[in-house]
Structure 1
Amino acid sequence: MKQRFRELIKTNRWLKCVPNSLTLCNSLCGFAAILYTLRAYERFYNSSNALSVFATSAVLICCAMIFDAFDGFAARLFNAASMHGIQMDSLADMVTFGVAPATLVAIMTHSLRDWDLNRTQEIMVYILCSVYLGCAALRLATYNVHAILEKKSGDKFSGLPSPGAAAAICVVVVFASTTNIGLKQLAVILPYYAAVLGLLMVSPIPYTHAAKWLLSVRRNRKRALLLVVMLVAVAVFRIQALTAIITLYILSGPAGWVWHKLRGEAETPAPAESRN
Structure 2
Amino acid sequence: MKKKFKEFIQHNRWLKAVPNALTLCNSLCGFVAIVYTLQVYENPRDEIDVFAVSAWIIIFAMVFDALDGFAARLFNAASMHGVQMDSLSDMVTFGVAPATIAAIMTHCLRAEMTYWQNLMTYIFCGIYLGCAALRLATYNVHAILEKKSSEKFSGLPSPGGAAALCSVVLFFQRPPTELAHIHPGFIMPVYAALLGLLMVSNIPYPHMGKWFFSIRRNKKRLALFVLALAILFAFRIHGVVALVNLYILSGPAIALYQLLRPHFIRRRIAVE
**Which position in structure 2 is the counterpart of 1:269?**
none
Q: SS at the partner of 2:146?
A: coil
Unaligned runs of 5+ in 1: 266-276
Kept after mapping to 1: 8 A contact 2:152/2:205: yes
Taking a change above 3 Å as real, the CA distance of residues 105 and 221 of structure 1, as seen in their structure-2 partners, is same
What is the RMSD computed on CA atoms of the aligned residues?
A: 1.6
- 1:147 positional shift: 1.7
The code of the aligned residue for 2:135 comes to: R
The residue aligned with 2:86 is: 89
Output one character per residue of 1:17-53: Cα deviation in whole Å (capped at 9) or x when no partner. 00000000000000000000111111xx233x11111
Say whether the 8 Å CA contact 1:9–1:15 is kept in structure 2: yes
Could you tell me how far apart the structure 1 residues matched to 2:221 and 2:81 are? 35
Structure 1 residue 131: Cα displacement: 0.1
Residue equivalent to 1:110: 107
Runs of 4+ aligned residues of structure 1 deviating over 6 Å after TM superposition are: none
Distance of 2:119 and 2:183 partners within structure 1:
18
Whether 1:135 aligns to 2:131 is: yes
How far the C-alpha of 1:84 sits from its partner, in A, is: 0.8
Higher relative contact order (CA 8 A, sep 6+): 1
Cα distance in 2 between the residues matched to 1:98 and 1:198: 10
Shift of the alpha carbon at 1:7? Answer: 2.7
On the 8 A contact 1:58/1:170 being kept in 2, the answer is yes
1:67 aligns with 2:47: no
**Could you say what secondary structure the match of 2:201 adopts?**
coil
CA distance in 1, matches of 2:76, 2:221: 30
Q: After superposition, give the CA deviation of every residue in 1:217-260 in whole Å (9 maximum; x if it has no partner).
A: 22332221121111011122111111101111100010111100
2:54 matched to which residue of 1? 57
Cα offset, 1:111, TM superposition:
0.5
Q: 2:234 aligns with which of 233, 236, 239?
A: 236
Q: How far apart are the structure 1 equivalents of 2:122 and 2:132? A: 15
Structural mapping, 1:161-176, within 5 Å: 161-176=157-172
Aligned residue for 2:268?
Answer: none
Map 1:1-276 to 2 at 5 A: 1-42=1-42, 45-47=43-45, 49-113=46-110, 115-179=111-175, 182=180, 184-264=182-262
SS in 1 for 2:3: helix
Q: Report the secondary structure of 1:149's partner residue.
A: helix
Quick one: which amino acid aligns to residue 56 of structure 2? V
User: 1:13, CA displacement in angstroms?
Assistant: 1.3
1:102·1:129 contact (CA, 8 Å) conserved in 2? yes
Using the TM superposition, give the Cα deviation of residue 90 of structure 1 relative to its aligned residue in structure 2, in angstroms. 0.4
Quote the Cα distance in structure 1 between the aligned partners of 2:219 and 2:13: 40
Give the conservation status (yes or no) of the 8 Å contact 2:84–2:140. Answer: yes
Offset at residue 8 of structure 1 (A): 2.1
Task: Give the Cα separation in 2 of the matches to 1:94 and 1:216.
Answer: 27
Distance in 1 of aligned mates of 2:188 and 2:14? 43
Decide which structure has the larger Cα Rg and report it. Answer: 2
Deviation at 1:183, TM superposition (A): 6.8
SS at match of 1:264: helix
Q: How far apart are the structure 1 equivalents of 2:184 and 2:259?
A: 32
Gap regions ≥5 residues in structure 2: 264-272
- What secondary structure is seen at the aligned counterpart in 1 of 2:153? strand
User: Which has the larger displacement, 12-21 or 129-138?
Assistant: 12-21
Distance 1:147 1:119, change over 3 A: same
Contact 1:125 1:191 in 2 (8 A): yes
More helix by share: 2
**Equivalent residue pairs, number:** 261
Q: C-alpha deviations, 1:102-155, integer Å up to 9, x for none? A: 000000000001x22111100100000000000000010111111221343322
Q: What residue in structure 1 maps to residue 269 of structure 2?
A: none
Kindly state the Cα deviation for residue 184 of structure 1 after the two structures are TM-superposed: 4.9
8 Å Cα contact 2:204-2:255 kept in structure 1: yes
Residue 183 to residue 129, structure 1, CA distance change in 2 (3 Å): farther
- Identity level (%): 62
